[in-house]
Amino acid sequence: MPRQSDSKITNYSGITLPPGEGKSVWVLGDLVTFKAGSEDTRGMYALFEVKAEPQNGPPPHIHHREDEAFYVLEGGFSFLYGDRTINATAGSFVYIPKGTLHTYKNLGNTTGRLLVIVTPAGLERFFEEIGESVMYKSYPPPDDPPDMEKLMALTQKYHIEIKMPQAES
């Protein structure tokens, strides 16, 4: 049965979503726009676009449930992948298997863009719960610091382990 949300039309024989469309949330300073989620793919994968602000990225973390793949659309990023750091520019692809410590950081002075595939789907629900909804995609990111108590509770719920950097003495 087809489902219509925003301008997205979904049935299990395909998805149609015009450019720039999809539900968006701010997650730790990055704009995440959902292109396909659990309900669209029968839980097989989630696909979203991330607009990462300059010098921004999530803290190092481990997904214990999902594999994650990144395709750099615009800009330059560094990726922590286990104990290695990889620099990636537009057209680069980085695959991170579940259980691997990783993060990314936009190295540029302008907004960078990533296409992210997560398998199986479900991580989009974490982003929806921790994120702040946006009405207009040009709206600047919120200045408020993240609610760390909520973040830590949700990471447990979604089998994510945050690895905060150790303070130097």
Which residue, among 168, 166, 160, has the nearest Cα to 61 in the 3D structure? 160
In which residue ranges of the chain is pLDDT below 70?
A: 1-13, 135-142, 146, 164-169
pLDDT given for residue 169 in this prediction? 47
Q: Are 124 and 65 in contact (CB under 8 A)?
A: no
Distances (CA, A) of 127 to 1, 27, 32, 54, 155: 26, 6, 8, 20, 10
Task: Please name the helix (run of DSSP H) or strand (run of DSSP E) that holds residue 93, with its range, or none.
Answer: strand 93-96
pLDDT given for residue 4 in this prediction? 44
Q: Which domains does the chain possess? A: 28-135 (2.60.120.10)
pTM: 0.84
SS3 122: coil
- Which phi-psi region, left, alpha or beta, contains residue 5 (left: φ > 0; alpha: ψ -120 to 50)? beta
pLDDT given for residue 21 in this prediction? 87
Q: Are 22 and 49 in contact (CB under 8 A)?
A: yes
